[in-house]
A and B are shown apart, each in its own frame.
Chain A
Amino acid sequence: MEEKKKLWKHIKAWVDGEEVILDADKYIITRSKKVKKDWRRQFSVETIKGNTKLYGFLSVAISALFIGIMLSVVNDLPEFGNPSNPVDNEVMERYLESGIEETGAVNFVAGMILDYRAFDTFAEANVLFLAVMSVVLLLKKDKQNYSEKEERENREDDFFDENEKRPILKIGGKILAPLIILYGIYVVLNGHLSPGGGFSGGTIIGAGLILYASAYGQKKMQTFFTFRTFTLICVGGLLTYCACKSYSFFTGANHVGFEIPKGIPGNILSAGFILPLNICVGLIVACTMYGFYALFTKGDI
């Protein structure tokens, strides 16, 4: 009877939302003991993770099962390199046969991603932009993200940058960085004529900038590349991209406006919007890559 009364009191307190008031300590202790025996608890991720051996065995088993299933799927898939596979259909034929006159790009891949399926590529440029903005949100110094130790380390690094000789890196950087950047620009500008394009070229330019910054210190970079320029270039590039694509989507879907002249395929000034789009993407990517580097080392651009 006593037990029953107690239980009733507990339920009443629980419904009233005042369980802590009612002999709280005892209640919490018994409760925590109970929870451990509870069968529900045994299936939660934490307890499985606590048992390292079981967890390891399970993950290996799942992966092995996965590989097994996938191998049997691969067994059933169309043959590798066979010209009569389902992927060799009218879509690919049109890209390859009418691609030159419809997009003006000699590089069919560039023509495909920047003209036929440009919406995907626009989203992709946005992914990159969002990633760099989230890294800014995470790593840029502010009052929440600030530690004395890190400041001291950064000052030490600056000191080394200025005073250490490091001749191999410095001379190498001086000679190589312009060459790398030049090659990157070449890849960007020839995106519609040869393999490569905005993204690969931009990455190469970014790598050149990173080499220069690591050889001569970020202070020197900041003379011509600040956070303001970074934002302006990124936003400007994306806005140009957005404007070009909006124009072509709008006119294409509504059958209005005039088409951009395609030029003679093979010339550098050809292929309609593909060249400016490649340049925009290249600028964005180069800034983004250098931005990642700068934020990762100093927490600022």
Chain B
Amino acid sequence: MEHINWIHNIPFFSIFLAMLCGIITALVKNGKVAFKIHSTMVFIVFIMSVILLLSVVKNNEIFTFMMGHFPAPWGNELRAGPLEALMAVTFSLVMLLTVSGGAEFVFKDVVEEKQSLYFIMLNALFGSMLALVYTNDIFTAYVFIEVNTIASCALIMAKGTPQSMVGTTHYLVISLLGSGLFLLGLCILYSITGHLLFPQMKEAILEIIKTDQYRLPLLVVTGFMFIGIAIKSALFPFHSMLPGAYLAAIPTSSGILSGLVLKSYIILGIKLIYCVFSAEVMHTLKITEVLFVFGLAGMVMGSVYAIRERKMKRMLAYSSVAQIGYIYMGIGMGSRVGMTAACFHILAHAITKTLLFLCCGSFVENSGGKEKIYHMRGAALRNPLAGIGYTVGALSMIGVPLLAGFISKIYFATASVYSSGKMAAVLIVLGVSMVLNALYFLPSVIAIWTPEKGKENKPNFSVSPLFAVSIVGFVILNFVLGIFYRPITRIIQMSIELLAQ
């Protein structure tokens, strides 16, 4: 009997636990029970991921886990290092806080007999995100992208209103276009490399670059795969699916979709850059430059759209477009420092945007279901806790010191120094985008704190305890990331070093 390394089993356990809970929830009729199952599952995954993170950081290692009896080029594989573990910790923590804070929206907006179905979708979504983070096999990634697509569409339309159906249709068509392009890229890549697992593919691609035989196919493949991932993660010209979908969905779903689902595709993209195409090849093919330009465009245009927007949820959706632009800008700098900044911004945006969506849902609720910002005047006075949460989130997005958003902007600025020829562009756009962020976040913050004339604005402290816990948790997390950011960035740097080897 050999010694079993339990820590190496954690990725496999987390994915299967999530999927298993998704299946079991189908037997549960009551939404409350399903919610309890879901929270317990996410909590267990959170604990396991923390253990995994501590272990891999201590040993400074990336390990692969064989799914089945057959080693690498024949069987499936999972792969976990500090980056994957960190993302798993973040995803489970954010998921736990979002769902516990947003459970009341689910119980209010979804028809009673279908609430348990909503939690099936949440479990499957969580499982698929973990799988996208941990996978070491490109076809597994494709299948889990499809799981992710169906589950996220189901989350959007769970509200059952006609608007949500329209939003879902739009989202579905565009996401399917993205996964179709990804699949096409996968097929061509398979036909020129003959492998499906990341490490073997990387070797074959380096060989191709050396012999110069299939150069054009390789360029087109990389293009298609990254266009597919960009469509999925709503990079600027492909963002049209977000606003409608987020407006119509339950705030819980909007928060999860914008905070986590978009990020899981980006993580897949980062893994593809380092583990399949390798940074040098990406650089020679000029893909990073294209991503960089679109990232910059997204930063400005997303904010411009957001300023024009009068509905709060749509404004937040466009703000997500801008923030995704930041992340792609960091990836496009092509340096490890830029990638570190991008990864840190993924964390910062995940905790901030979900907080904003939850608070926004609460405002909509206490201003009589009206979505527009000027109908929400005094909403923060009616629910001070959500008001504080929204203010902290908005300030963090703008980039006020002591908050998470500030640190990521500092890192972006620092990273620009190391990438020659891009420094001016990055610094100018960063400054412009910060001003634009302030231009749309500050008026909304002022609006929610301004009392409405002729109406009583009695503060209502009787929010549900779970909601309070989640908002407070998010605010604390934001400050923690903003003040004690050192260990986290060190982990990210370490993982980028390990990945790039």
The answer to whether A and B belong to the same complex is yes
Could you say which residues of chain B place their CB within 8 Å of the CB of A115? 68-70
Contact B154 A134 (CB under 8 A): yes
A77 and B124 in contact, given A118-B67, A235-B23, A249-B12 (Cβ under 8 angstroms)? no
Query: Which of these binds chain B: A86-94, A155-163, A183-191, A193-201?
Result: A86-94
B190 within 8 A of A: yes
- Indicate if the CB atoms of B157 and A137 lie closer than 8 Å: yes
Q: Tell me whether A145 and B153 are in contact in the complex, defined as CB-CB below 8 angstroms, given that A17-B450, A18-B374, A242-B23 are known contacts.
A: no
Residues 109-151 of B, flagged 1 when their CB comes within 8 A of A and 0 if not, give 0010110011011001001100100000101100110110011
Do A253 and B67 contact each other (CB < 8 Å), given the known contacts A18-B374, A242-B19? yes
Q: Is the CB of A17 within 8 A of B446?
A: yes
**Inter-chain contacts of B22 with A (CB < 8 A):** 126, 130
Collect the chain A residues with CB atoms within 8 Å of residue B444's CB: 17
B173 within 8 A of A: no
Determine if B194 and A89 form an interchain contact, defined as CB atoms under 8 angstroms apart.
yes
B484 within 8 A of A: no
Q: Determine if B216 and A235 form an interchain contact, defined as CB atoms under 8 angstroms apart.
A: no
User: In the assembled complex, how far is the CB of residue B247 from the closest CB belonging to chain A, in whole angstroms?
Assistant: 15
- Please judge, given known A-B contacts A130-B154, A134-B153, A137-B114, whether A235 and B27 are in contact too, CB under 8 Å: yes
* B186-214 interface bits toward A, Cβ cutoff 8 Å, 1 = contact, 0 = none: 00101111110000000010000000001
Give the contact-size bracket for chain A. Answer: 35 or more
User: Given A95, A127, A136, which contacts B117 in the complex, CB threshold below 8 Å?
Assistant: A136
Q: A87 touching B26 by the CB < 8 A rule?
A: no
Contact among A73, A116, A123 with B217 in the assembled complex (CB-CB below 8 Å): A73
A40 touches B304 (CB 8 A): yes
| A120 contacts B140, C-beta separation under 8 Å | yes
Give which listed residue, B74, B75, B160, contacts A144 with CB less than 8 A. B160
A254 contacts chain B at the CB level, 8 A cutoff: yes
Q: Tell me if A5 is interfacial: C-beta within 8 Å of chain B.
A: no
Asked whether any CB of chain A lies closer than 8 Å to the CB of B2, the reply is yes
Q: Is B423 an interface residue (CB 8 A)?
A: no
Are B26 and A235 in contact, with the CB atoms below 8 A?
yes
Query: Chain A at the B interface: mostly helix, strand, loop or mixed?
Result: helix
B125 to chain A, nearest CB (A): 9
DSSP majority for the B interface?
helix
User: CB of B24 within 8 A of chain A?
Assistant: yes
Contact with B along A242-271 (1 / 0, CB 8 A): 100010111111111001000000000000
Task: Assess the B194–A87 pair: CB atoms within 8 A.
Answer: yes
Interface residue B460 (Cβ < 8 Å from any Cβ of A): no
CA distance A85 to B447 in the complex (A): 65
Complex Cα distance, B445 from A16, in Å, reads: 9
Given A144-B160, A238-B23, A242-B23, residue A248 in contact with residue B69 (CB < 8 A): yes
A20-B374, A256-B4 given; A15·B443 CB < 8 A: yes
Contact A235 B24 (CB under 8 A): yes
Interface membership of B463, Cβ < 8 A = no
Q: Is B348 among interface residues, defined by CB-CB distance under 8 A?
A: no
* Chain A minimum-CB-distance residue to B5: A254
B401 within 8 A of A: no
Within the complex, what minimum Cβ distance (angstroms) separates B377 from chain A? Answer: 6
* Nearest chain A CB to B132 CB, angstrom units: 11
State the CA gap A15–B240 with chains docked (Å). 28
Indicate whether A25 reaches chain B with its CB closer than 8 angstroms: no
Interface centre among A118, A120, A250 (most CB of B within 10 A): A120
Report the minimum CB–CB distance from B301 to chain A (whole Å): 8
Pairs across A and B, CB under 8 Å, 12 listed: A15-B442, A89-B195, A119-B76, A119-B140, A120-B137, A130-B124, A130-B147, A130-B151, A133-B154, A134-B153, A142-B111, A242-B20
Report, nearest first, the 4 A-B pairs whose CB atoms are least far apart: A17-B447, A252-B69, A86-B194, A119-B76
Additional pairs, 6, CB under 8 Å, beyond known A140-B113, A145-B160: A45-B240, A86-B193, A133-B121, A235-B23, A242-B20, A252-B66
